[in-house]
Structure 1
Amino acid sequence: MANIARFDPADALDDLFRGFWMRPVRPGGQQEVQIKLEVKEDDKAYTIHAEMPGVNKEDIQVTIDGGQVSISAETKKEKEVKEGTRVLRSERYYGKVSRSFALGQDVDESKSEAHYKDGVLELSLPKKTVSKTRKLTIS
């Protein structure tokens, strides 16, 4: 026999609006944000493109320690609120985000360059020249 269920219009209306004004919540109330990277390598250098939309270049920090690269940035919430308006939904991220990764070879920090344009950070990281092993003759 088929199961018969009673239809209640109030339940249907609750199901329709459940979650309409809600958004997914992550621990700490922030959405999970990660810097997306593209790492390329040739014989002489590494080239890294990091997507960082909405960040001012003054708020980006890059540190290099041998072959370890760390990128961090902070976006600040705008304080201006127009009178008579209210935010119904905000999916923008405000806060600090960082990413660290290791490269296969040490980087020459003195020749490294960074450029930021259109929300993309480009790093040019020349490889350190590896000293070749020298065989000594014994006299």
Structure 2
Amino acid sequence: MNLLKRNGSQLQGFPRLFFDDIFGRELFNWENNNFSSTSTTLPSVNIKETSESYQVEVAAPGMEKSDFNVTLDGNLLIISSARELKETTQQETFTHREFSYQSFQRSFELPKNVVDEQHITARYENGVLLLTVPKKEEAKQKPFRMIKIS
């Protein structure tokens, strides 16, 4: 058995950065985390496809429906929010101010020529933004049909 001894900034035989890189990663990350490249939190999103539509659920508790912007640019569905909170406490000898900025943007590419853009609906209930993105009639899954053999 061969043990590695720690010697200052490196383990004997291996640079420390090698181990920091390996053990600093999440093993099952799968590129599906809730942090943007700037390490800010992004809301979790569930997307479900049915034969009639796409159902999008965005977990955003504590927000108001007026905090959201939902746009469709071609086949790119963009959900964003920007919110600024200011809190000021004044007493006789001091003033204390707290500022908080919260924003996110999530984009989803929808299949081309499938979405009925004119009938997309959105509502905000119990901390969840719910979007229904209907499919065009020609893109809907047709029911199973038996074909008679002659």
Is the structural similarity TM-score above 0.5? yes
Are residues 1:120 and 2:128 paired? Answer: yes
Output the aligned Cα RMSD. Answer: 2.8
Are residues 1:104 and 2:104 paired? Answer: no
* TM-score, scaled to structure 1: 0.59
* TM-score, scaled to structure 2: 0.55
What amino acid maps onto 2:73 in structure 1?
A: D
Q: Where in structure 2 are the equivalents of 1:39-118 lying within 5 Å? A: 39-81=47-89, 83=91, 94-105=101-112, 106-118=114-126
Q: Which runs of 5+ in 1 are unaligned?
A: 1-29, 132-139
Runs of 4+ in 1 over 4 A off after TM superposition: 84-87
CA distance in 1, matches of 2:138, 2:106: 27
2:32 is matched with none
What amino acid maps onto 2:130 in structure 1?
A: E
Q: 1:50 to 1:93 in 2, by over 3 A?
A: farther
SS at match of 2:41: coil
Which deviates more, 102-111 or 113-122? 102-111
How many residue pairs match? The answer is 99
SS at match of 1:77: strand
- The percentage of aligned residue pairs carrying the same residue is 31
